[in-house]
């Protein structure tokens, strides 16, 4: 109860342990996982833990103010390879599972990531970023001082750009290096470069017989102009590369079946551009035939849940059963994610689904059981064993002390009918210390994407606003995942249309049904697409008394040329490029309607945001300020589009405090 527990604060993000990447040991008696937290130096650190299934305490396998991840067991379970930043860059290290110090395996100049063992344990395959003339046998890791000197020299040189895809929000400005596949011979301690094409290669799997490597890449001459990601096999004996897909789609999460006769993967062919639901494919290696197991489904495969406390990667499938007659995977459906299985005849079955967020899993072929990573709206994360009997047994008690101390509000699930009778799902959080008979200010939260999903997961920002005394409403308007192909496609070429009326219908619904909301104190906020929609809302209605727009889009004309995705996203979402119809793009731009804005607006933006660049916020600020509107602009140094989820901890806290400050001042 709130009277016995304190309210959540912005600084509480530093108190959370975030679990990810559960991995069964080869014998199925134990598992490893990654725990990520913010340390006393205000930096992220992540460590590997080992835990027996019999309930013993977890044993830390790594220590220090560094990031460790991607633990992979050798087939005999005697060693584990993982990546760690302990030497300065992500490099590969090997640890004996019976104890002892980890040994550094790679000393690559630009680091090494994503290791995987061959099925016989003779090789480790991984990704490394290389220049075209790099020699993998003579790689030398730079010291911290050498890297600093190189970076300082680089800053003094002009950047020469001759590619369309010359930057990304994740990496910043690109160079000529490419992700290549490297094979490490464990016995002879020898490195062999497997790929060399002028493109990035993504390792997927190695065949059970050790003869073929499965990878994704775009090897077309026009790769710089395409978003294609094909699937290939590389024959390790002959070095021959075979293309498995047809150059029309994007494929990922591929794996060989236990016998090596088949390959499963996820992907699609952009039928609805970025709003296309993923499909589950199986390739027969002998015949080359491709079968779509998900052809008759209408749900998104994988985890599309939005949250702000998910750090680290986890397996979401597809994963083969030991008899290779079934595949296991996570899917996104109606505000939740769950674990599913499908036979090779496309018979679909739900193995586990509840009002929560399954963010990862591991499968044990010995017991036919699973370890599930689960988050709920009131608990950031825990691991559970899903046994063959369908019994769910909790394995961890993460953040127990923290959750005993703070009040976390349970959301109420809503079903709202939109103007055209479309049903919209949403959730309502009551404020901390709620009292019947009182009136409370209200905040509408709008997610980004737009093709993503709010749902049954822990969300610190939403809980913080409730803790500050606001009624919080968050919904999945049309364009969101989780409700089928037609629904997720419904906002394309209609931004500010049906999606806008969905949100306004949701606000009308809660005002009509919850008398404790003060209709004269309404606030709105959102990030990315949610920032666009915040801008759109306040330029089309004055019913909100305060707004905070985050990493937003205000002008689609300039977005086309400045965003790392603008050159294709504009066409995908609006049906046209800049020169096709500039007037129509201007019609979709909130900046066009700036003179209508009467709502006090706070603009939050990261200086290094390449997805929705800071000039989008700057244009809006200058325009509104020039018209003497009530507006403020906060620019976060060293922050990209991921500020709210994985940005620098001190900047994340500053951001949350600015949001709360603005709403406190105007609501």
Please provide the DSSP assignment of 433-462 as one string. T--TT--EEEEEEE-SSSS-B--SS--HHH
Report helix, strand or coil for 605: strand
pTM above 0.85, yes or no: yes
- pLDDT score at 114: 96
Q: Is 113 among the domain residues? A: no
CB 319 within 8 A of CB 329: yes
Q: Which of 207, 253, 528, 554 is catalytic?
A: 528
- Between the CA atoms of 348, 350, 355 and 357, what dihedral angle is there, to the nearest 10 degrees? -80
Residue 448 within a domain = yes
CA distance 465 to 442: 9
Catalytic residue chosen out of the listed positions 118, 641, 644, 658: 641
Tokens encoding 223: 């790769």
Peptide bond into 450 cis (omega under 30): yes
Classify residue 83 by its DSSP letter.
E
pLDDT for position 144: 87
Sign of the C-alpha dihedral computed for residues 391, 397, 403 and 404 taken in this order: positive
List 393's β-bridge partners, or say none: 385
Structure tokens at 544: 């909100």
**Could you tell me the mean pLDDT of each successive run of 10 residues in the chain, 667 residues long?**
82 97 97 97 96 90 96 97 96 94 96 96 97 92 89 91 95 94 96 96 97 97 94 96 95 98 97 98 94 97 97 96 97 98 98 97 97 98 95 96 97 96 97 97 98 98 98 98 98 98 98 98 98 98 98 98 97 96 97 98 98 98 98 97 96 98 98
Report the alpha-carbon distance of residue 105 to residue 632 in Å, rounded: 50
DSSP code of residue 119: T
Is 357 part of any domain?
Answer: no
Q: Tell me if 256 sits within 8 A of 208, measured CB to CB.
A: yes
Whether 35 is catalytic: no
547 belongs to a structural domain: yes
655, two tokens: 């951001």
Q: What is the pLDDT of residue 3?
A: 60
Note whether residue 631 is domain-resident: yes
Whole-angstrom distance, CA of residue 562 vs CA of residue 269: 26
Whether residue 659 is contained in a domain is answered as yes
pLDDT value for 99: 85
* Residue 627, both tokens: 């018209």
Task: Give the DSSP H or E segment for 359.
Answer: strand 357-364
Compute the distance between CA of residue 475 and CA of residue 506 in angstroms, rounded to an integer. Answer: 8
Query: How many structural domains compose the chain?
Result: 1
Helix (H) or strand (E) holding 544: none
pLDDT at res. 56: 79
The residues pairing with 300 across neighbouring beta strands, listed in sequence order, are 332
Structural domain includes residue 350: no
Residue 1: the pLDDT is 45
641 in catalytic set? yes
Tell me, what CATH number does 532's domain have?
Answer: 3.40.50.1820
Q: Do residues 116 and 72 make contact, with C-beta atoms less than 8 angstroms apart?
A: yes
Contact present, 535 and 554 (Cβ < 8 Å): yes
- Torsions phi, psi for 44 (to 5 deg): -75, 140
The range of the structural domain enclosing residue 619 comes to 403-554+589-666
* Residue 519 within any structural domain of the chain: yes
């Amino acid at each position: 109860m709130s009277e016995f527990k304190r309210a959540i604060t912005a600084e509480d993000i530093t108190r959370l342990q975030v679990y990810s990447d559960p991995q069964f040991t080869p014998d199925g008696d134990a598992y490893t996982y990654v725990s990520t937290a913010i340390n006393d130096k205000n930096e992220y650190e992540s460590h590997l833990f080992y835990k027996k299934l019999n309930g013993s305490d977890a044993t830390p396998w790594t220590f220090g103010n560094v990031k460790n991840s991607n633990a992979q067991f050798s087939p005999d379970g005697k060693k584990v390879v993982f990546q760690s930043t302990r030497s300065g860059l992500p490099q590969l290290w090997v640890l004996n599972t019976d104890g002892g110090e980890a040994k550094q395996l790679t000393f690559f100049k630009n680091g090494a990531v994503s290791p995987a063992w061959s099925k016989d344990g003779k090789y480790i395959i991984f990704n490394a970023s290389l220049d075209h003339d790099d020699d993998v046998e003579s790689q030398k890791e730079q010291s911290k001082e050498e890297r600093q000197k190189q970076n300082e020299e680089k800053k003094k040189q002009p950047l020469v750009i001759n590619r369309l895809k010359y930057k990304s929000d994740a990496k910043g400005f690109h160079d000529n290096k490419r992700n290549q596949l490297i094979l490490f011979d464990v016995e002879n301690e020898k490195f062999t470069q497997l790929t060399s094409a002028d493109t990035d290669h993504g390792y997927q799997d190695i065949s059970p017989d050790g003869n073929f490597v499965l990878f994704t890449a775009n090897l077309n001459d026009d790769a710089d102009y395409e978003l294609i990601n094909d699937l290939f096999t590389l024959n390790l004996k002959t070095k021959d590369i075979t293309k498995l897909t047809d150059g029309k789609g994007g494929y990922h999460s591929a794996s060989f079946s236990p016998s090596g006769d088949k390959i499963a993967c996820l992907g699609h062919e952009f039928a609805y551009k970025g709003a296309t639901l993923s499909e589950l494919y199986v390739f027969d290696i002998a015949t080359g035939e491709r079968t779509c197991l998900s052809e008759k489904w209408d749900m998104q495969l994988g985890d599309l849940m939005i949250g702000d406390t998910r750090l680290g990667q986890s397996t979401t499938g597809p994963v083969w059963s030991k008899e290779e007659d079934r595949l296991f995977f996570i899917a996104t459906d109606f505000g939740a994610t769950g674990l599913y299985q499908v036979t090779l005849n496309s018979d679909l079955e739900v193995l586990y689904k509840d009002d929560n967020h399954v963010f990862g899993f591991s499968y044990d072929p010995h017991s036919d059981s699973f370890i599930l990573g689960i988050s709920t709206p009131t608990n950031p994360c825990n691991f559970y064993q899903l046994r063959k009997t369908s019994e769910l047994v909790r394995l961890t008690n993460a953040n127990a002390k923290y959750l005993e101390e703070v009040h976390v509000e349970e959301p109420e699930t809503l079903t709202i009918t939109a103007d055209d009778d479309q049903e919209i799902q949403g959730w309502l959080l009551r404020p901390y210390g709620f009292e019947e008979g009182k009136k409370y200010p209200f905040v509408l939260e709008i997610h980004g994407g737009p093709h993503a999903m709010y749902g049954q997961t822990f969300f610190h920002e939403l809980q913080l606003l409730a803790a500050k005394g606001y009624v919080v409403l968050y919904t999945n308007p049309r364009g969101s995942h989780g409700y089928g192909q037609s629904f997720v496609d419904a906002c394309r070429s209609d931004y500010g249309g049906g999606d806008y009326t969905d949100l306004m219908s949701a606000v009308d619904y809660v005002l009509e049904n919850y008398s404790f909301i003060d209709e004269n104190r309404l606030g709105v906020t959102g990030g990315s697409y949610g920032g666009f929609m915040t801008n759109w809302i306040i330029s089309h209605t004055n019913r909100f008394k305060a707004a905070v727009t985050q990493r937003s889009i205000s002008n689609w004309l300039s977005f086309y040329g400045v965003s790392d995705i603008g050159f294709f996203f504009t066409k995908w979402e609006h049906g046209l490029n800049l020169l096709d119809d500039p007037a129509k793009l201007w019609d979709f731009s909130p900046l066009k309607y700036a003179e209508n804005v009467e709502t006090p607006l706070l603009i939050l933006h990261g200086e290094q945001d390449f997805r929705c660049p800071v000039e989008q916020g700057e244009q809006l600020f200058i325009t509104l300020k020039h018209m003497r509107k009530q507006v403020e602009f906060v620019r976060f140094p060293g922050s990209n589009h991921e500020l709210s989820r994985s940005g620098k901890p001190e900047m994340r806290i500053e951001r949350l405090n600015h949001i709360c400050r603005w709403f406190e001042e105007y609501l």
